[in-house]
């Protein structure tokens, strides 16, 4: 056998291709290839030459004895990675290898330099092949298959490779499966399930990937089970070879390790783990399919490479022997073709070359160890082995990452995410439904609360309004009492001054008397003076008495005012009685009325003690305060029907009218008008008032006064006069009605109520007169322009005003002579309203009767198609 063309250094050239990489640069290129593969820019891989190491077996016992006189046929120069093969005693050939392992090289070192880089490469996602080639007995099985049970230092490449693989992978994401096969006479047998014979080799037409779907695949979890698997395989190999009447050296043992890694780097793993195990619903961005790396490690213990004729002792026929070695021959041819860059590589010639298609000239990282013995007797075989190794070193592979997208896992993950989303969606829909119901319930509750609050508010406003009315009335009463108190005090002061004056006069008189007696004036004069003194003293006693009584009265009034204040403060529940009587008084609570009654009783007592004449004379007092006080007393007396006649008889009416006419004091005019109003309750008095020109005075006061209380009194007095049938014409002629209507300018409800009462009284008399036939023609009220105000206030919200006007309208409408004016004035609609809505049944039916009785109204209603 010829050595290869010597290199310029005189050595046989080894790696020949210029692109061949050193071990260091190969690692760099591997990394580059990884990234370029990931980017998908380079699909062709990077060049990676088949790496070849040579291992020399130490001399065995036989050789030690038989070759004792001969030297070894090889000489190793490990530091130069060279091997010298002796041709004869004076000539030798030198060969360069990637590694040269001497007979003393440890199994560990062999693994590290031959197999470890391939194993690491497989873990990174490349296919890898470690193969042993050599003559039977040179240590192929020793190198690859030793289990090292007796001595762990003897562990071979298979055991160490799996140790490294199992240590590196994560069982959570990765998987390692193993098949163990034997190829004998072009038949693939399963060493783990021996009955599986002739297992088909399947090639993927697209990728060229080779697989053995019929072979047993054992998933590995630990090293122990792998060692057991190898033992089982060995036992089965031994049994199969016994059955076939052959030896293991004639068959090829193939350990196929599949490494499947789901994602290479930590980031990708985190991503995968989050997407698959995360509790939250999380859809990975873009649904990028995770990458999966499926790499294969082939460890091949080839049959002995010795020539068949030399080992024909096994008794096989030549053809049979050729068949036995067919695969190995084909491998040699392929490697030759590859080494010489031949366009045709006869891969399909044998099953072995088909199985190793990726290992030589393919995409795998391949490491070949050739084993040789030292004996010169086998020099020829050794040389042949060396040449095989040299050719293999020229085989260039294109190392390529075995990475693909894991669409199945992506699909599984997306399905899981979809399921989670569907479940979450269902939960959310339910939550929305629940939320809506809750909201509806709360809305209903809220509207109930609002309704309750509204009704409470309405009740409270009503109470508040009532309270406010009471408050106003109370403050008016208090003001009144305070005023009285002040008046009394002033009067007291005056009387005190008068008394002091009298006392002075008395002492002056005494002094004069003494002087005169000294001068012995005549006794007659003394007697006169004495008499006068006595009279003065009597007068003084009387005044003292009066002052005492007034003081008591003042005290009483004070106590009553206090009591009233307390009663009013205590509760606003006491309701005022809306008195319809014509007596002029404020609407007062019943307890107030008691107080007033108490006051009246006091005044009655005063009346008895002092005498009416005396009180009336005080009306003409010089002192305005005395006049004020006196007119108040008279007014109070006039409120009692029993006193009215006495007051008039004593000339009280005349005095009151004079006061009304002449007094410039507002209080006097007010109280006088009140007193006149009270007197005007009586029919005889009404005529007297008229006869004494009272209506004129009242009308003037009505025009001049601004104070609503004065106006109320005046209106009350005129209203009482309005109720007298005989006085109608005179009352109207003397401006009574106009004065009454003029007072509506004060919008005070108390004044308006009195005006309304007057109108109602007047209308009532008119309708009575018309009914009795002594009155014809239209209403004087209407003539004096009362109708617009009547219509405008027919539905006044203050019930005393409304009630009087409703009555007045009914009375006016009863007289057909008024009907036209009422129609024009818009009163018909008010009458209809009264007939339908008035709260007082008698007024309602009066309105109905009136409407039904009037032909003019009926005609108008028919004209307007108002069904009535």
Q: Which does 139 bind (CB under 5 to 8 A by kind): ligand ADP, Mg ion, none?
A: ligand ADP
Q: How far is the CB of 83 from ligand ADP (least distance, A)?
A: 15
Non-local CB neighbours of 606 within 8 Å, separated by 6+ positions: 549, 553, 615, 633
Tell me which of 284, 371, 602, 643 binds ligand ADP, using CB under 6 A: 371
- With CB under 6 A as the contact rule, which of the stretches 131-139, 170-178, 218-226, 842-850 interacts with ligand ADP? 131-139
Contact between 142 and ligand ADP by CB under 6 A: the answer reads yes
Check residue 258 and give left, alpha or beta (phi > 0: left; psi -120 to 50: alpha). beta
User: Which of 57, 116, 250, 413: binder of ligand ADP (CB under 6 A)?
Assistant: 57
Each residue 95-114 as x (binds Mg ion by CB under 5 A) or -, in order, gives --------------------
CB distance 389 to 97 below 8 Å: yes
Cα separation, 388 vs 459, in Å, equals: 117
Residues in region 232-271 near ligand ADP by CB under 6 A: 249
Considering only residues 673 to 712 of the shown chain, the ones binding ligand ADP according to CB under 6 A are none
The answer to the question of residue 735 lying near ligand ADP (CB under 6 A) is no
Helix (H) or strand (E) segment spanning residue 54: strand 51-56
Binding to ligand ADP (CB under 6 A): which residues in 399-418?
A: none
Which tokens belong to 322? 């050729």
For residue 138, state whether it binds ligand ADP (rule: CB under 6 A). Answer: yes
3-state secondary structure of 416: helix
Q: How far is the CB of 135 from ligand ADP (least distance, A)?
A: 7
Nearer to ligand ADP, 367 or 746 (CB): 367
Nearer to ligand ADP, 107 or 564 (CB): 107
Q: How far is the C-alpha of 96 from the C-alpha of 74, rounded, in Å?
A: 13
Cα–Cα distance, 483 to 474 (Å, whole number): 14
Task: Compare residues 144 and 740 and give the one whose CB is closer to ligand ADP.
Answer: 144
Only segment of 135-143, 355-363, 558-566, 770-778 that touches Mg ion (CB under 5 A): 135-143
Residue 332 binding result from Mg ion, ligand ADP, none, given CB thresholds of 5 to 8 Å by partner type: none
800 binds, among ligand ADP, Mg ion, none (CB under 5 to 8 A by kind): none
CA distance 271 to 277: 10
Distance of alpha carbon 339 from alpha carbon 361, whole angstroms: 9
141 near ligand ADP (CB under 6 A): yes
Q: Closest distance between ligand ADP and the C-beta of residue 262, in Å?
A: 37
Please report how close the Cβ of residue 105 comes to ligand ADP at its closest, in angstroms.
7
* Token reading at 804: 């009087």
CB of 138 to ligand ADP, least distance (A): 5
Least Å distance, CB 140 to ligand ADP, is 4
Taking the complex as a whole, how short is the minimal distance between the CB of residue 219 and Mg ion, in angstroms? 27
Residues 244, 248: Cα–Cα separation, whole Å: 10
Question: What are the two backbone dihedrals, phi and then psi, of residue 355, each rounded to the nearest 5 degrees?
Answer: -65, -35
Residue nearer to ligand ADP on the CB measure, 301 or 403: 301
User: Could you tell me if 736 and 722 are in contact, meaning their C-beta atoms sit under 8 angstroms apart?
Assistant: yes
Residues pairing with 84 in the sheet: 75, 94
Number of residues that bind ligand ADP (CB under 6 A): 14
Residue nearest to Mg ion (CB): 141
Residue 786 phi, psi (nearest 5): -80, -20
Instruction: Mark the segment that binds ligand ADP (CB under 6 A) among 135-143, 333-341, 586-594, 650-658.
Output: 135-143
CB 741 within 8 A of CB 755: yes
Closer to ligand ADP by Cβ: residue 138 or 709: 138
Does residue 58 interact with ligand ADP by CB under 6 A? yes
Is the Cβ of residue 110 or residue 616 nearer to ligand ADP in the bound state?
A: 110
Checking 764-769 for CB contacts under 8 A at 24+ apart, the result is 764/723, 764/807, 764/808, 764/811, 765/722, 765/723, 765/724, 765/725, 765/728, 766/728, 766/811, 766/812, 766/815, 767/811, 767/812, 767/814, 767/815, 768/725, 769/725, 769/728
Residue 139 contacts ligand ADP per CB under 6 A: yes
State in angstroms the smallest separation of the CB of 136 from Mg ion: 7
Residue with Cβ nearer ligand ADP (139 or 694): 139
Residue among 156 and 758 whose Cβ is closer to ligand ADP: 156
- When CB distances are held under 5 to 8 angstroms depending on the partner's kind, the choice from ligand ADP, Mg ion, none that residue 138 binds is ligand ADP
Q: Which is nearer to ligand ADP, 374 or 800 (CB)?
A: 374
- Minimum CB distance to Mg ion smaller for 140 or for 394: 140
Is there binding between residue 141 and Mg ion (CB under 5 A)?
yes
Strand partners, 86: 92
CA dist 562 and 552 (Å) reads 15
| Binding residue for ligand ADP, selected from 136, 189, 251, 382, defined by CB under 6 A | 136
Q: Is 123 exposed, middle or buried (0-12, 13-18, 19+ CB in 10 A)?
A: buried
x/- mask, ligand ADP, residues 107-126, rule CB under 6 A, reads --------------------
Please report, as residue ranges, which positions from 211 to 230 form the binding site for ligand ADP (by CB under 6 A): none
> For ligand ADP, which residue of 140, 316, 365, 757 counts as binding (CB under 6 A)?
140
Pick 57 or 712: Cβ nearer Mg ion: 57
End-to-end CA gap in the chain: 144
Region of 134-142, 537-545, 686-694, 802-810 interacting with Mg ion (CB under 5 A): 134-142
3-state secondary structure of 372: strand
Backbone angles phi, psi at 535, to 5 degrees: -60, -45
What is d(CA 351, CA 324) in angstroms, rounded to the nearest whole number? 12
| Among 188, 169, 178, 158, CA closest to 299 | 158
Give residue number: closest CB to ligand ADP.
Answer: 139
Query: DSSP assignment, residue 816?
Result: G
Question: Which positions touch Mg ion (CB under 5 A)?
Answer: 140-141
Question: Which positions touch ligand ADP (CB under 6 A)?
Answer: 57-58, 60, 134, 136-142, 249, 304, 371
């Amino acid at each position: 056998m010829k050595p290869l063309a010597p290199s310029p250094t005189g050595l046989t050239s080894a790696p020949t291709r210029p692109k061949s990489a050193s071990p260091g640069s190969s690692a760099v290129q591997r990394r580059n290839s990884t990234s370029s593969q990931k980017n998908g820019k380079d699909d062709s891989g990077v060049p990676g030459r088949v790496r070849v190491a040579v291992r020399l077996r130490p001399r065995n016992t036989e050789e030690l004895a038989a070759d004792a006189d001969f030297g070894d046929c090889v000489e190793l120069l490990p530091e130069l990675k060279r091997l010298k093969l002796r041709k004869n005693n004076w000539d030798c050939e030198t060969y360069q290898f990637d590694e040269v392992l001497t007979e003393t090289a440890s199994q560990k070192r062999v693994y590290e330099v031959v197999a470890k880089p391939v194993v690491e490469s497989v873990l990174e996602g490349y296919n890898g092949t470690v193969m042993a080639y050599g003559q039977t007995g040179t240590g192929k099985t020793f190198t690859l298959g030793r289990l090292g049970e007796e001595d762990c230092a003897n562990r071979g490449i298979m055991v160490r490779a799996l140790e490294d693989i199992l240590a590196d992978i994560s069982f959570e994401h990765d998987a390692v499966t193993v098949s163990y096969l034997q190829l004998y006479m072009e038949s693939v047998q399963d060493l783990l399930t021996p009955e599986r014979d002739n297992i088909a080799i399947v090639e993927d037409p697209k990728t060229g990937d080779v697989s053995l779907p019929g072979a047993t695949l054992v998933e590995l979890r630990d090293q122990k089970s792998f060692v057991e698997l190898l033992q089982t395989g060995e036992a089965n190999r031994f049994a199969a070879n016994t059955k076939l009447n052959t030896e293991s050296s004639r068959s090829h043992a193939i350990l196929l390790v599949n490494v499947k890694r789901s994602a290479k780097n930590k980031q990708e793993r985190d991503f995968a783990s989050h997407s698959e195990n995360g509790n939250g619903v999380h859809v990975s961005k873009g649904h990028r399919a995770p990458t999966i790396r499926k790499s294969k490690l082939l460890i091949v213990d080839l049959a002995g490479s010795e020539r068949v004729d030399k080992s024909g002792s096994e008794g096989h026929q030549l053809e049979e022997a050729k068949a036995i070695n067919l695969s190995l021959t084909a491998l040699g041819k392929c490697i030759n073709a590859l080494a010489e860059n031949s366009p045709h590589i006869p891969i399909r010639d044998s099953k072995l070359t088909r199985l190793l298609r990726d290992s030589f000239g393919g995409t795998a990282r391949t490491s070949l160890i050739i084993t040789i013995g030292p004996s010169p007797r086998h020099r020829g075989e050794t040389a042949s082995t060396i040449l095989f190794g040299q050719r293999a070193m020229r085989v260039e592979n294109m190392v390529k990452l075995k990475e693909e997208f894991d669409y199945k896992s992506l699909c599984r993950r997306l399905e899981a995410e979809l399921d989670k989303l569907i479940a979450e969606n269902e939960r959310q829909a339910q939550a929305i439904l629940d939320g809506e119901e809750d909201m509806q319930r709360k809305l209903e509750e809220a509207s109930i609360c609002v309704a309750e609050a509204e009704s409470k508010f309405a009740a409270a406003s009503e109470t508040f309004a009532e309270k406010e009315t009471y408050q106003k009335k109370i403050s008016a009463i208090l003001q009144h009492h305070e005023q009285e108190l002040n008046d009394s005090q002033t009067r007291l002061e005056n009387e005190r001054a008068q008394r002091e004056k009298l006392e002075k006069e008395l002492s002056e008189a005494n002094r004069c008397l003494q002087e005169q007696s000294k001068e012995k004036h005549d006794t007659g004069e003394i007697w006169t003076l004495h008499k006068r003194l006595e009279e003065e003293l009597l007068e003084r006693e009387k005044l003292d008495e009066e002052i005492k009584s007034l003081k008591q009265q003042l005290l009483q009034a004070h106590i009553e005012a206090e009591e009233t204040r307390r009663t009013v403060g205590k509760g606003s529940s006491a309701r005022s009685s809306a008195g319809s009587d014509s007596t002029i008084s404020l609407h007062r609570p019943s307890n107030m009325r008691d107080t007033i009654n108490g006051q009246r009783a006091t005044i009655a007592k005063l009346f008895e003690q002092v005498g009416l004449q005396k009180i009336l004379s005080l009306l003409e007092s010089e002192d305005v305060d005395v006049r004020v006080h006196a007119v108040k007393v008279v007014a109070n007396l006039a409120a009692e029907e029993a006193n009215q006649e006495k007051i008039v008889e004593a000339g009280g009416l005349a005095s009151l009218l004079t006061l009304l006419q002449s007094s410039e004091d507002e209080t006097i005019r007010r109280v006088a008008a009140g007193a006149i109003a009270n007197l005007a309750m009586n029919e005889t008095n009404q005529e007297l008032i008229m006869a004494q020109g009272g209506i004129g005075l009242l009308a003037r006061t009505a025009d001049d006064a601004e104070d609503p209380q004065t106006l109320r009194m005046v209106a009350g007095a005129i209203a009482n006069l309005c109720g007298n049938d005989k006085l109608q014409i005179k009352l109207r002629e003397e401006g009574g009605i106009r004065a009454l209507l003029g007072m509506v300018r004060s919008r005070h409800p108390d004044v308006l109520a009195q005006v309304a009462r007057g109108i109602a009284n007047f209308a009532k008399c008119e309708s009575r007169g018309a009914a009795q036939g002594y009155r014809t023609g239209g209403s004087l009220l209407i003539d004096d322009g009362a109708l617009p105000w009547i219509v405008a206030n027919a539905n006044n919200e203050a019930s005393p005003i409304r009630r009087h006007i409703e009555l007045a309208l009914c009375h006016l409408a009863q007289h057909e002579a008024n009907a036209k004016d009422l129609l024009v004035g818009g009163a018909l609609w008010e009458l209809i309203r009264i007939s339908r809505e008035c709260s007082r049944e008698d007024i309602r039916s009066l309105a109905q009767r009136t409407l039904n009785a009037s032909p003019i109204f009926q005609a108008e209603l028919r004209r307007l198609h108002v069904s009535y």
